[in-house]
Amino acid sequence: MAVVPFEVVSQHRCFGGTVGYYKHDAASTACSMKFAVFTPPQAQSGRVPVLYYLAGLTCTEETFMIKAGAQRVAAELGIMLVAPDTSPRGVKLPGDTDSWDFGVGAGFYVDATVEPWSRHYRMYTYVTQELRALIEAQFPADTARTGIFGHSMGGHGALTIALRNPERYRSVSAFAPIAAPKQSPWGQKAFSGYLGPDRGQWSQYDATELVAGVKDAASRPPILIDQGLSDQFLQTQLHPHLFEEACRKVGYPLQLRHHEGYDHSYYFISSFVQDHLVHHARILGA
């Protein structure tokens, strides 16, 4: 397999494995990109399942590794965790830092088609092709056992990527995803800016519309979604009920769990991250 160059920023021993932070020059985004990897102790003797985590608005490649508390369970299950950054950085596009929900930290896991964003904001291709190729070339990842999950904007990304690439992502879950972004102010702002005014072009990145078009829904692996009922964004931005209804209509197996008192924070994620890792391990055969 071809050698894909990258630079080690730092590495830290953790639960018998290693948390590493890395960077590399990415062709898809035409800039330097950072990512984090937890390599479990089982990787010392062979390839292990790999689970990609996509973070939400304003987050970086560090957020999940620092806040979610996932490494202990991942070490027990023998699962590699990979967390990319949430957008290109340092490319200095006009207006890219004017608001927290668009531009830097808010790539929305789409391939932008509108200038100047289309030059760099190609996070869909970065996550699904370039980063994955790097991980599979340079880390002991089992390419046949790959899953994806995420939070909020990253939950949106995980759902859309898995629904569009079922042969490449065998398992999927999400924490409080933006489940119907075409009907969400966050999604409408991002899609208008990155993809332009043609709402038809937005559908390829809307999980609710994507699942509604799945023909073999009943045979797909189940989706797990956890949603806090005290989430301040539940009613205005997330709309999990729309995704749930679309799944029901096509017979897509979905477990949508509601949790009283939980909000949108990493306190919520850390409370249920073990359930998500077990969900993926069961499907991936970890």
Reported as a single tens digit per residue, the pLDDT across 261-281 is 999 999 999 999 999 999 999
Alpha-carbon span 205 to 184, nearest angstrom: 13
Q: Specify whether 258 is catalytic.
A: no
Find, among 56, 22, 25, the residue nearest to 38 by Cα.
Answer: 22
User: What pLDDT score was predicted for residue 180?
Assistant: 98
Catalytic residue among 28, 87, 152, 184: 152
Check: CB of residue 264 under 8 Å from CB of residue 176: yes
pTM: 0.97
User: What pLDDT score was predicted for residue 197?
Assistant: 97
Report pLDDT digits (tens) over 113-161: 999 999 999 999 999 999 999 999 999 999 999 999 999 999 999 999 9
Does the structure show a pLDDT above 60 at 38? yes
pLDDT band at 4 (very low <50, low <70, confident <90, very high): confident
| C-alpha dist (Å) from residue 2 to 101, 128, 202, 279 | 37, 17, 34, 32
Does the structure show a pLDDT above 90 at 3? no
Q: Specify whether 231 is catalytic.
A: yes
Catalytic residue among 151, 264, 276, 280: 264
Q: Put residue 220 in one of left, alpha, beta given phi > 0 → left and psi -120 to 50 → alpha.
A: beta
Catalytic residue among 96, 142, 206, 231: 231
Q: Specify whether 24 is catalytic.
A: no
Tell me how crowded residue 177 is: count the other CB atoms within 10 A of its CB: 31
Identify the bridge partners of residue 202 per DSSP, sorted by sequence position: none
Find, among 8, 16, 17, the residue nearest to 39 by Cα.
Answer: 17
pLDDT band at 1 (very low <50, low <70, confident <90, very high): very low
Average pLDDT score over the chain? 97
